[in-house]
Amino acid sequence: MAADFPIRTGIFTFGLPVFALLQLINGVVHDGSVVYIGLFGALAVAFSVILTQYQVAAYRKEKLTGRLTENE
């Protein structure tokens, strides 16, 4: 999937965790609630994992159905 869709894969796999890290840094610099920012970061990383798993499953399904229709 990374070879066929590098931008989508990069955003879903690395973009959300990097955004969560930047939010954590922003919260620490501006004296925000580290607990809430940490929870937000954990949720963003969990969402990134689930979203990436979904995209991989959808990609595999498309590849599989593409192969099946080509053989008929």
The pTM of the full predicted model, rounded to 2 decimals, is 0.76
Kindly list the domain boundaries of the chain, sorted by start residue.
6-71
pLDDT in tens, 27-71: 989 988 889 998 999 999 999 999 999 999 988 988 888 765 565
DSSP label of 72: -
Q: In this structure, what are the phi and psi dihedrals at residue 41, rounded to the nearest 5 degrees?
A: -65, -40
Lowest mean pLDDT, pick from 9-13, 18-22, 36-40, 68-72 = 68-72
Number of H helices, E strands in the chain: 3, 0
